[in-house]
């Protein structure tokens, strides 16, 4: 599974049979995703303290669009690799949605339900 963070309202706006389309698909050509070991990195860098986030648990086999693992900073040999989805994510590819509440200090960690798999 791969993971994607968005607001609960953004996810709720995706109709049955529809697809989720992050703004980055238009600006960068792909939707940023993570794996369980890297979710905290973009969450803490971009969303510190937000209380409206959910984590979409996505089945890569159900995407129907290209998925590529790419380095966050291609010019850095030690950069972390992240999954990038090159198209909208079909609602049917999302197998679960998990709340992503911040810790008391505003930081994030992987939801326990995902950490215990």
What is the C-alpha separation between 95 and 97, in angstroms, rounded?
Answer: 7
**Domain 2-115 fold:** ADP-ribosylation fold (3.20.170)
Q: Are 55 and 3 in contact (CB under 8 A)?
A: yes
Predicted TM-score (pTM) of the model is: 0.93
pLDDT value at residue 78? 73
Q: For residue 107, what are the CA distances in angstroms to 25, 82, 93, 102? A: 26, 20, 28, 5
**Tally of helices (H runs) and strands (E runs) in the chain:** 4, 8
Per DSSP, the three-state class of 115 is helix
H/E stretch holding 26 reads helix 23-27
Answer yes or no: is pLDDT of 93 > 90. yes
Condensed to tens digits (0 to 9), the pLDDT of residues 50-86 reads: 999 999 999 999 999 999 999 887 677 777 899 999 9
Q: For residue 44, what are the CA distances in angstroms to 37, 48, 80, 101? A: 13, 5, 15, 12
Answer yes or no: is pLDDT of 6 > 80. yes
């Amino acid at each position: 599974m791969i993971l994607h963070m968005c607001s609960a309202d953004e996810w709720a706006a995706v109709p049955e049979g529809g697809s989720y389309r992050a703004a980055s698909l238009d600006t960068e050509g792909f939707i940023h995703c993570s794996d369980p070991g890297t979710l905290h990195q973009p969450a803490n860098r971009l969303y510190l303290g937000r209380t409206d986030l959910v984590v979409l648990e996505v089945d890569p086999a159900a995407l129907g669009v290209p998925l590529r693992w790419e380095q966050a900073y291609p010019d850095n040999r030690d950069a972390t690799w992240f999954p990038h989805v090159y198209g909208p994510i079909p609602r049917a590819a999302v197998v679960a949605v998990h709340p992503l509440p911040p810790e008391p200090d505003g930081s994030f960690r992987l939801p326990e339900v995902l950490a215990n798999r």
